Chains A and B, each alone.
Chain A
Amino acid sequence: MATATQTQTVDLAARFPGMVSADTRPGYTGFIVNKDNLIEVATAVRDEFGFDLMTAVTGVDYIAENKMEVVYHAFKTTGGAGLVFKVQVERVDPIEVPSLINIWPGVDFQEREAWDLYGIKFTGHPDLRRILMWEGFEGHPLRKDWKEPFYEEDVKPYKSRWPEGNHTYAEEKNPYRDNLNFPEGFDPEKFTVDKEEDLYLSLERDTAKDVDGSMKTEHIVVNMGPHHPSTHGVLRVAVTLDGETIIGLKPVMGYLHRNHDKIGERNTYLQIIPYTDRLDYFNSMSNNFGYVTTIEKLMKIQVAERAEYIRVIMAELSRVQNHLIFIGMLMNDLGTMYTPSLYAFEERELVLDIFEAVSGTRMMCNYFRFGGVVRDIPDYVLQKIKDLVFERLPAKTDEMERFLNENEVLVARLKGIHVLNAEDAIKYSVTGPVLRATGVPYDLRRADPYSIYDRFDFDVAVRHNGDMMDNYLIRFDEIRQSLRILEQALKQIPQGPINSQKAAYQVRVPAGEAYGRIESPKGELGFYVVSNGKPNPYRYHVRPASFVNLTAVESMCKGSKIADFVALLAMLDIVMGELDR
């Protein structure tokens, strides 16, 4: 069961006496490492204990104790429980923690995020710039003493609106009458705009110097995005080109940074569920799944039996739908505008019909609750799902494969392009289908089973070349496996209650921390939640798959053609709502 992840398998404190101590705060697990020994301990964690996949790095601001904490979650690609270790530093600027980028290069973006939002300086990080906000922004917004312009109260529900329900406009309370806040004595006329020199400097630093000495060419820097015609939303990349070949690349993100963490820390536990819908907006069901699993872990409650099956059915339908869209969008980006994606959307609409029938909305389902789900599946919907799973979807998947797989242009554009090898993939903390296409059979449904996935008979889809073609084909494999799970779940689903808990506006969550993760269609979707026993989480952090998978992009596309880059974005299957949060 899911709780198995929390058991400690490694005793770091015994291995490093004096450098590491067990975290004894009630409800907490893992170890606290001395800041000065971090590199040494982390190296041992990777090499001696075999935790090769560093998935989540984040900060927590314990303002009452005057401490800033960095939390690391490391896992093994062979599966099993993870290892949590933390570093605590005095909360006095400059807050400095050694960077682990040389041990796990996958921490790159996550450390930059912690710098951006918490102001934790990772010494030794070669490129510590802001990542979600822009350079020059005032303050580090996730610190507990940083207040946004529309700040009203620390936690919801706000007294002004509840229970009486008197609403006010946020604009009325702010001197600027808008979502703005400037430092004292700020004069906009004297302000000079940041020319993003840091970005271009870092681009230049990482640009391959000597490409091919035979011809003298001039390099140009091109900015793609944030508005561009590929279908992946508002991502921007700055690329250095030598002719048409990419020799340097830096992604720039944050154009859809909607402050998910900060808003989440203000919401009650229940209020967060609809926000998680808006993370990866193709898969609201999976996002719900990840979040409620985490909170259930903290609350230590059981999920109603029927609800477990409903959850799995919804999550797998979501995966099928996501992969179909993936194929359609990949084709779009390769230039076969619209036709394949029209086929994909046709099936997606049928899945959305089911979501709408059970939850009331097509996309933002808000369907899961702690201990179960919010509504039962009516029989006619169950019948509809059966028709889809047993009849229509298998046939349509075959049809799509028949239409596309052998296509000469498609093979030419995909085969052998953007190869990622397993070693690099693990190094950069890549998860999900992209990792499995490199030959690593790491699927959380098997590697660290949650919910009731251990009851189903299915194979972890693996391909071995790690190129675009395998990434494309593995999506079909996964659709087939999901359909297999769905068939079993639909046959086995029992009758019974759909929630083990009573419906309540507020839930009691005991103090402690939990890291819950699920295999979302894009990869590992993790939630790190710290509760202090109050109705709102003290720390709420999302570890999105798209964001971390993007770490690998720079090394993957150096030396390939710019025209293939858009296809690479499609292949990583990024979605900005999750990437930027």
Chain B
Amino acid sequence: MDNEKLSLPNYNIPQDIENVVAITTLDRLYNWGRRSSVWPLMFGLACCAIEMIAAQTARYDMARFGMEVMRPTPRQADMMLVSGTVTKKMLPSIIRLYNQMPEPKYVVAMGACASSGGPFKEGYNVVAGIDKFLPVDVYIPGCPPTPQALIAGMIKLQEKIDKESISKVRWYNKEKFDGNYVPMPLLGPDLIDVRRNTEIRDIAAKKTTQESA
């Protein structure tokens, strides 16, 4: 970011130190640092991942936005790019990866599949959108989204980061912040979302009574 964007406007800096000193808010500095080094988790699920790789290569070059450092371990990643179809069999692993990522963390749903199930929504092994389990920050439409669309989505994420304030972000809020853990779903006769256990039992029980009636 150049000086003009970083400095608060309307604050007079003596002319002779203008290029040396910048006066800004802590929020701006904090966000500027974070938005320019969003490290994605190196993690591809399906066809969309190929476009994600393409976006990293010379022609599109995501490095221009500080997003080229793909980390294979979730412990070092800031952003999870859900690039592809989320299947029921894969979901527990995705949730585990998400839980292992330290805050601040963001989730981007890339493509129709990650956003809603896409062309495979009706499939018996497909989760109809990662947002049923994880809080999604940006949705990128397309099947697959072109690398340009992916970059546009990343810029949207940067805009979101720009709006955050260090005094309000959840990860510094000691009283309220609970670590943002998502309970692990289980693989039973079908995918079991443990947050909905009672509900599932009730509906399954109702089915029996209906059929026996």
Contacts and interface: CB of A to CB of B under 8 A. Distances in A.
A213 interface: no
A227 B200 contact: no
B105 interface: no
Contacts of A256: 45-46, 84-85, 87, 90
Nearest to A174: B203
Given A138-B190, A188-B188, A263 B122 contact: yes
Contacts of A148: 122-124
Contacts of B102: none
Contacts of B97: 227
Given A179-B126, A233-B44, A193 B186 contact: yes
B9 interface: no
A184 B87 contact: no
A20 B159 CA distance: 70
A226 interface: yes
Contacts of A362: 51, 146
Interface in A239-266: 254-259, 262-263, 266
A139 to B, nearest CB: 8
A547 interface: no
A134 B125 CA distance: 10
Interface in B94-116: 97
Contacts of B187: 134, 136-137, 193-194
B136 to A, nearest CB: 16
A171 B116 CA distance: 11
A577 B59 contact: no
A152 B97 CA distance: 34
Given A179-B117, A234-B45, A258 B144 contact: no
A187 B192 CA distance: 10
Interface stretch (B15-23, B25-33, B172-180, B204-212): B204-212
B90 A278 contact: no
Chain A interface residue number, banded: 35 or more
A178 B204 contact: no
A132 B46 CA distance: 16
A227 B43 contact: yes
A184 B203 contact: no
A170 B204 contact: no
Given A149-B124, A342-B58, A137 B189 contact: yes
B200 A345 contact: no
Interface in A551-572: none
B58 A191 contact: no
A370 interface: no
B197 interface: yes
Given A136-B188, A345-B58, A363 B47 contact: yes
B201 interface: yes
Interface in A386-406: none
Contact of B132 (A133, A178, A194): A178
Contact of B125 (A138, A184, A259, A349): A259
B193 to A, nearest CB: 8
B120 interface: yes
Nearest to B207: A184
B200 A171 contact: no
B49 interface: yes
Contact of A275 (B43, B119, B200): B119
Contacts of B128: 150, 170-171, 178-179
Given A229-B42, A342-B58, A349-B54, A181 B190 contact: yes
Contacts of B42: 229
Contacts of A187: 201, 204
Interface in A252-309: 254-259, 262-263, 266, 274-275, 278, 281-282
Contacts of B189: 136-138, 182-183, 186
A3 to B, nearest CB: 32
A363 B190 contact: no
A227 B93 contact: yes
A263 B186 contact: no
Contacts of B85: 256, 258
A180 interface: yes
A24 B123 CA distance: 34
Contacts of B197: 188-189
Nearest to B127: A179
Given A136-B189, A259-B124, A346-B58, A282 B50 contact: yes
A60 B189 CA distance: 24
B194 interface: yes
Nearest to B68: A338
Contact of B201 (A133, A179, A188, A228): A188
B109 to A, nearest CB: 16
A71 interface: no
Contacts of B57: 341-342, 345-346, 349
A176 B203 CA distance: 7
Contacts of B5: none
A94 interface: no
A133 B125 CA distance: 8
Contacts of B117: 179
Contacts of A258: 46, 85, 87, 120, 123, 125-126
A188 B188 CA distance: 8
B204 A182 contact: yes
A353 to B, nearest CB: 10
Contact of A229 (B72, B186, B208): B72
B199 to A, nearest CB: 8
A150 B192 contact: no
A234 B201 contact: no
Contact of B46 (A193, A194, A259, A576): A576
A227 B50 CA distance: 16
A141 interface: yes
B124 A262 contact: yes
A363 B51 contact: yes
5 contacts: A148-B124, A255-B87, A255-B90, A255-B93, A577-B47
Interface of A: 132-134, 136-138, 141, 148-152, 170-171, 175-176, 178-189, 191, 193-194, 226-229, 231, 233-234, 254-259, 262-263, 266, 274-275, 278, 281-282, 341-342, 345-346, 348-349, 362-364, 576-577
Given A148-B123, A182-B203, A346-B58, 13 more contacts: A180-B191, A184-B207, A188-B192, A227-B43, A229-B72, A234-B44, A255-B89, A258-B85, A263-B120, A263-B123, A266-B122, A342-B58, A576-B46
Interface of B: 42-47, 49-51, 53-54, 57-59, 72, 84-85, 87-90, 93, 97, 117, 119-128, 132, 143-144, 146, 186-194, 197, 199-201, 203-208, 211
User: 5 closest Cβ contacts across the A-B interface?
Assistant: A259-B123, A229-B72, A281-B47, A138-B189, A148-B124
